[in-house]
Amino acid sequence: MSRIVNTLRSLSGLLFSVSLTLLGLIAVTFFIGRVVPIDPVLAVVGDRASADIVEQMRVEMGLHLPLYQQFWDYLGQVLRGDFGNSVLTANPVSEDIRRLFPATLELATAATLIGVVLGVPMGVAAAVWRGRWPDHVIRVVGLVGYSVPVFWLALVGLFVFYAQLDLVPGPGRIDIYFEETVPFVSGVILLDSLLAGNREVFWNALSHLLLPASILGYFALAYIARTTRGFMIEQLGEEYIVTARAKGMSPARVVWGHALGNIRVQLITVIALAYAGLLEGSVLTETVFSWPGLGRYITSSLLNADMNAVLGGTLVVGVVFVGVNLLTDLLYRFLDPRVR
Amino acid sequence: MTRLAARLLLVCAGISLVFSAFPATSRAATPDDVLVMAKRIDDIISLDPAQVFEFTGAEVIANIYDRLVTFDVNDASRLEGGAAQSWKISPDGKTYRFTMRPDMRFASGNPVTADDAAWSLQRVIRLGLSPAFILAQFGLTAENVEKRIRAEDAMTLVIELERAYAPSFLLYCLTAGVGSVLDRELVLAHEKDGDLGHEWLKQASAGSGPFSLIRWRANQYVILEGDSGYWRGAPAMHRVILQHIAEPATQRLMLEKGDIDVARDLSPDQVGGLAGLSDMRILHAPKGTLMYLGLNQKNPILAHPKVRKAFKLLVDYRGIGDNILRGRGRVHQAIIPKGLFGALTETPYRFNPERARKLLREAGYESGFAVTMDASHGSIITEVAQALQSDFAAVGIEAEIIPGDEKQVLTKYRARNHDIFIGEWGVDYQDPHSNADAYASNPDNSDDARFRTLAWRNAWAIPRLSELTASAILMRDQDERAELYNEIQRRVLAVSPFVVMFQSVDLIVERSYVSGLVWGPSFDSNFYRGAVKRPHSREK
């Protein structure tokens, strides 16, 4: 009985802190949006509108009301699931996000997969051969990954693999002639094209995903490999490892079974953070690859003072971040006996 | 350990194998009946002709809708019939009677009638969005528009105005996007809450032009489809696609690879790298946008006539043109850009720091002064501003550049809080009044004035010049009218707080297998209908 009460209590506590976080996020974004020295009416009616139109729009947008009332009205709107309309796209913000977020999700997931599949073994290898050539090679690879700006890597990647070697197609999620040929179901083109049974589009989309996902994946890989290496070195110096080795256990089992097993919780935190970071949408990569994702959406909205879109987008990023963190927390419960 | 190394190697080999397995599926040139253009299209906010006021949107609707009146793209001083075949003006100059072109059809199959035309014009006034003023300036209001603009019969459209305006003034205004003829029946079928179909039409098309809109996706693409029944002849292209590629370097790569046929936003550097290639064609299309300095007359130093004049002599027009703009602009100093009738092409000012220094001495600023200069960052404007800064410094004027986002800079400019504004201004419609009204009219210089022209933004009080500008729209003889605009431009050139420097030129690079695209003198006279791709002879 008391266990149920405890679970409920921790659950409500969790809900409370999550909603407080999101409320804070809305408030901060909202007020920043009102403080920036850009007239939001300008974004809607343009530079040439007459004074009458400007005034009319100001009233229509509720900008003549006191700030706290504007915020209160907006909050009510959001709670009803209405983020308002975007000026830039002429669509409801929720519809835009519904369409753009899957693009970011697709890219971020592929990049994280690449980062994990390559980054973890590389980190392990570097730790195992610490100070020897594999370690040096991996550290240099990592150093390049997290010190070179990712958009520059993206441009160079395009130049080498697209322009020179002709290995991958150019920017965009699919070839432009395939646009509007697959019905929108999930928004993840790889999935939608399979659902529609259109293999041509599937392969086209996959080939378009390869380069941007590899570039972002490299970025994630560098981060993951570096932290994995650090964690592993620490573990490999522990006494239980020495014991295991002394007992004659195979080196592979010591490394992969014992040491890696013990850093899985830390590792998941790192991976989750990297994933959440990528899910925000990496603006520059999305720009270079003309990838219609969330990062580009929020940035271009911000530059145009399209505050409904900025607020809606930021809130979604916030929810995603909190969501990924919650998921990680849940995973801990399975992986870490001490939390159970 | 060596087993581990072997496994790692295997993984790496596997990945490179996956990489090399792809080329077979990745390469494809653009199809022969599809034209793909890379362009920044993030300025589009609507494709409803009653709202469109942005460069890309204006270009797109010019290819979707027929306008009542058009002009010759090679000589903009010649008006031509569009959806209206001809027109007659009553002797008192107040009533215009347009005869519609017979046998025209909308993409929906509905016939184009005077009724559609009348309703489309009324709709612009009734919606009252950004470009509505182009028609509203003829005294049209939501209350009187149905009386003043009406269909006499299916083929005759009548526009009755309060005053006898210069005929060219009204006709040129009808060549703007607001003069588009909409398919009344189709639009009204999508009306919601009395919005005259506005919400729907933002992302749809209902025109009689050569193309229909398949889809506009903000920041992604605009896809147009050719209409086989178009009255001037069907477009050769089945589809024309504007693909949003924000990064100019990427545009160039895609152009070289043949993934796009036309690149619209290349920098002079990138264009330079393509010069001399036989498979590329580099085009220069002058547009009606001027780059200028606005000197705020609220600043007592900048209000001194000799200081104003000095600034006009402190711009190294040729140097900036050759070294910074490099093909993206040409020297133009009057307020009406070349390509409009009445434009003045004289360029009396040369870079002359000695004379400027003398003027400053006479004004009492021998040792110079400090000012700020607002410039939107990340654009060519910043580079020009920096060049000006060093030229100004040579005579002791210390100009601090305040970079900002474009909208931020505009907000400040509109509030008259700047010292010097550097930026661009494009004509709204192909009549000289568009710019004369902006630069040479300021009927009320008070802070809460209703008409906030560029002259107002720079607090330039000019009651007499404003009257002169207002009188020019009533001058019925077109030659006399042109002469009056020359006069206005000379005055502005001599005494204004505006330093007009350059007229913008669009740099366009086409693959040489493309031909027939029209790059007209304004941003809404770029036409896709004649575009042809020479098939089978492609390099790749």
Q: Residue A207 and residue B25: Cβ atoms within 8 Å? A: yes
Pick from B9, B20, B22 the residue to mutate for testing the A interface (most A CBs within 10 Å): B22
- DSSP-based three-state secondary structure for B144: coil
Q: Residue A288 and residue B26: Cβ atoms within 8 Å? A: no
- DSSP-based three-state secondary structure for A311: helix
- Distance from the Cα of B403 to chain A's closest Cα (Å) equals 13
* CA neighbor of B431 nearest in space, from B490, B468, B483, B485: B485
Measured between CB atoms, does B14 come within 8 Å of chain A? no
Q: Which of B26, B246, B452 is closest, CB to CB, to A287?
A: B246
Q: Given this model, what pLDDT does residue B177 score? A: 96
d(CA A300, CA B528) in angstroms, rounded, equals 28
d(CA A155, CA B248) in angstroms, rounded, equals 11
Query: Angle of helix A67-79 relative to helix A2-35, nearest 10 degrees?
Result: 130
Low-confidence residues of chain A, pLDDT below 50? none
Radius of gyration of chain B (CA): 26
Q: Which domains does chain B have, with CATH numbers?
A: 3-42+209-279+512-537 (3.40.190.10), 69-186 (3.90.76.10), 286-504 (3.10.105.10)
Which residue from A minimizes the CA distance to B200? A90
Q: Which ipTM did the prediction report?
A: 0.79
Measured between CB atoms, does A155 come within 8 Å of chain B? yes
Q: How far is CA B125 from CA B93, B208, B526, in A?
A: 22, 21, 26
d(CA B431, CA B449) in angstroms, rounded, equals 25
Are B429 and B175 spatial neighbours (Cβ–Cβ below 8 Å)? yes
Q: Which of A39, A50, A89 is closest, CB to CB, to B133?
A: A50
Return the percent helix, strand and coil in chain A, to nearest 5: 75, 0, 25
Dihedral angle computed from the Cα positions of residues B161, B162, B166 and B171, in that order, rounded to the nearest 10 degrees:
-20
Buried residues in B413-442 as b, exposed as e (16+ CB within 10 A): bbebebbbbbbbbbbbbbbbbbbbbbbbbb
Measured between CB atoms, does B249 come within 8 Å of chain A? yes
Measured between CB atoms, does B5 come within 8 Å of chain A? yes
Q: What is the DSSP letter of B78?
A: E
Handedness of CA B41, B224, B69, B502 (dihedral sign): positive
Q: Given this model, what pLDDT does residue B350 score? A: 95
Q: Given this model, what pLDDT does residue B20 score? A: 44
d(CA B50, CA B29) in angstroms, rounded, equals 37
Give the tens place of pLDDT for each residue, A239-255: 888 888 888 888 888 88
**In chain B, which among 520-539 make CB contacts under 8 A with chain A?**
none
Q: Which of B20, B42, B245 is closest, CB to CB, to A300?
A: B42
Pick from B2, B4, B200, B412 the residue to mutate for testing the A interface (most A CBs within 10 Å): B4
Which parts of B295-352 fold into alpha helices (H)? 305-313, 317-320
Q: Given this model, what pLDDT does residue B39 score? A: 94
β-partners of residue B224 are B213, B240
Element (H or E) spanning A321, and its range?
helix A307-335
Are A43 and B130 spatial neighbours (Cβ–Cβ below 8 Å)? no
Give the tens place of pLDDT for each residue, B251-290: 998 999 889 999 999 988 889 889 888 899 999 998 999 9
Low-confidence residues of chain B, pLDDT below 50? 1-5, 8-9, 11-27, 537-540
* CA neighbor of A11 nearest in space, from A329, A338, A317: A329
Q: Given this model, what pLDDT does residue A1 score? A: 59
Which residue from B minimizes the CA distance to A37? B408
First-last CA distance in chain B: 49
Q: Residue B133 and residue A180: Cβ atoms within 8 Å? A: no
Q: Given this model, what pLDDT does residue A155 score? A: 86
- Distance from the Cα of B515 to chain A's closest Cα (Å) equals 21
Distance of CA B402 to the CA centre of its chain: 26
d(CA B292, CA B295) in angstroms, rounded, equals 10
Q: Given this model, what pLDDT does residue A62 score? A: 82
Q: Given this model, what pLDDT does residue B17 score? A: 45
Q: Given this model, what pLDDT does residue A29 score? A: 85
Give the tens place of pLDDT for each residue, A203-262: 999 999 999 999 999 989 999 999 999 998 888 888 888 888 888 888 888 888 888 888
d(CA B65, CA B174) in angstroms, rounded, equals 13
Q: How far is CA B211 from CA A62, A127, A169, B63, B520, in A?
A: 38, 62, 29, 6, 18
Q: Given this model, what pLDDT does residue B197 score? A: 95
